[in-house]
């Protein structure tokens, strides 16, 4: 019996040795080479995996930066501080990017806009494409106020106030998730330093807009005529500001008869 035990122990030992040798050789043969720069870049990225950079999470961005396929300051969450650290790792110079924040181009709250009917159902803006008129609000371009953007924001930077989504610019990291999910396409990224912004997205003709909302842009062009730097234009009955030209004088805001241009 003792011989049987010794034999079994010997067999197990030999098998263990062979398995160890096999795994060791396999580990060397199939070893995945790790890019040290990629690992270093990944270590300084914030780890939110928000996708705002356009890549599949922070690891995807780190890989792209290490391969030279993405700029060192491509992370909107980390901003210039993280960009500078990555630039040092990559041995390049980081160009300073102007900070961007999300803005909801709508002021049509419960007092300023009208409703065609009362809605009772799933409170998700994306569901409104299945209900009459695209939602109960008379303005077909206005914020529906059901907070789908609030639910997807990973930084708690959006809240619905009196029926309209509002972005806290101090919390916003410009990841773009709210922009992707908004079915009305009301949200865009604007410079953090912007002094004025058109808080309306309606492209309806003036009479239609005025009937639906008291602060809707009617495309009258008064802002265009009074802008001293040719920074405002009107297309499809809707005004927009060119932030490359805007000097923040505030004349457009002052002259707007519908108060559609505001300080963000």
Looking at 146, 178, 193, which one is the last position of a domain? 193
Quick check: is 2 in a domain?
A: no
Quick check: is 121 in a domain?
A: yes
Same domain, 233 and 262: yes
Query: To which H or E segment does residue 19 belong?
Result: helix 2-29
Quick check: is 29 in a domain?
A: no
Give the torsion sign (CA, 182, 163, 223, 172): negative
Mean pLDDT throughout 56-83?
A: 83
Angstrom distance (rounded) from CA 203 to CA 184: 12
**What pLDDT score does 40 carry?**
85
Same domain, 133 and 85: no
Is the pLDDT at 34 greater than 80? The verdict is no
Same domain, 208 and 256: yes
**What pLDDT score does 10 carry?**
67
Q: Are 156 and 171 in contact (CB under 8 A)?
A: yes
* Of residues 57, 88, 55, 89, the one with CA closest to residue 69: 55
Same domain, 137 and 171: yes
**What pLDDT score does 96 carry?**
73
Angstrom distance (rounded) from CA 161 to CA 111: 12
Quick check: is 202 in a domain?
A: yes
Quick check: is 9 in a domain?
A: no
Same domain, 201 and 188: no
CATH number at residue 48: 1.10.15.40
pLDDT, tens digit, for every residue of 233-258?
999 999 999 999 999 999 999 999 99
Same domain, 259 and 224: yes
Q: CA-CA distances (angstroms) from residue 43 to 35, 166, 175?
A: 13, 33, 19
* pLDDT classification of 18: cutoffs 50, 70, 90: low
* Of residues 64, 20, 19, the one with CA closest to residue 45: 64
* pLDDT classification of 5: cutoffs 50, 70, 90: low
Q: How many domains does the chain have?
A: 3
Give the torsion sign (CA, 126, 127, 128, 129): positive
Same domain, 185 and 208: no
Average pLDDT, the chain: 87
Is the pLDDT at 9 greater than 90? The verdict is no
Residue 59 burial (C-beta neighbours within 10 Å; 0-12, 13-18, 19+): middle
62-88 CB burial, b ≥16 within 10 A, e <16: bbbbbeeebbbbbbbbbbbebbbbbbe
How many residues make up the chain in this entry?
A: 264
Of 4-8, 120-124, 136-140, 149-153, which range is least confident?
A: 4-8
CATH number at residue 142: 3.30.70.20
Same domain, 163 and 209: no
The three-state secondary structure class of 1 is: coil
Same domain, 204 and 261: yes
Quick check: is 213 in a domain?
A: yes
Same domain, 143 and 199: no
Is the pLDDT at 31 greater than 60? The verdict is no
Same domain, 187 and 134: yes
pLDDT, tens digit, for every residue of 186-224?
999 999 999 999 999 999 999 999 999 999 999 999 999
Quick check: is 16 in a domain?
A: no
**What pLDDT score does 28 carry?**
61
Is the pLDDT at 179 greater than 90? The verdict is yes
How much of the chain, in percent, has pLDDT values that exceed 70?
Answer: 88
Mean pLDDT throughout 37-57?
A: 81
CA angle 202-203-206, nearest 5°? 90
How much of the chain, in percent, has pLDDT values that exceed 90?
Answer: 52
**What pLDDT score does 73 carry?**
85
Quick check: is 164 in a domain?
A: yes
Is the pLDDT at 56 greater than 70? The verdict is yes
**What pLDDT score does 1 carry?**
55
Which residue segment(s) compose the domain that 48 sits in? 36-90
Of 3-7, 118-122, 155-159, which range is least confident?
A: 3-7
**What pLDDT score does 201 carry?**
95
């Amino acid at each position: 019996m003792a011989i049987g035990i010794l034999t079994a122990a010997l067999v197990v030992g030999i098998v263990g040795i062979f398995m160890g040798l096999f795994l060791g050789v396999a580990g060397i043969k199939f070893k995945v080479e790790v890019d040290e720069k990629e690992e270093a870049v990944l270590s300084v990225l914030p780890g939110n995996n928000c996708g705002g950079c356009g890549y599949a999470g922070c690891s995807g961005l780190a890989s792209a930066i290490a391969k030279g396929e993405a700029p060192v300051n491509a992370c909107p969450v980390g901003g210039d501080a993280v960009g500078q650290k990555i630039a040092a790792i990559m041995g390049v110079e980081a160009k300073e990017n102007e900070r961007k924040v999300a803005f909801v181009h709508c002021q049509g709250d419960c007092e300023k806009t009208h409703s065609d009917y009362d809605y009772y159902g799933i409170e998700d803006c994306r569901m409104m494409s299945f209900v009459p008129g695209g939602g109960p609000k008379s303005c077909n371009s206005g914020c529906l106020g059901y907070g789908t953007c609030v639910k997807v924001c990973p930084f708690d930077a959006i809240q619905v106030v009196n029926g309209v989504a509002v972005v806290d610019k101090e919390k916003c990291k410009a990841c773009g998730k709210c922009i992707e999910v908004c079915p009305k396409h009301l949200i865009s990224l604007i410079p953090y330093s912007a002094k004025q912004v058109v808080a309306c997205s309606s492209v309806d003709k003036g009479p239609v807009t005025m009937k639906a909302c008291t602060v809707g842009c009617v495309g009258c062009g008064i802002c265009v005529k009074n802008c001293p730097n040719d920074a405002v234009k009107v297309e499809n009955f809707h005004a927009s500001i060119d932030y490359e030209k805007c000097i923040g004088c505030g004349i457009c805001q002052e002259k707007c008869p519908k108060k559609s241009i505001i300080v963000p």
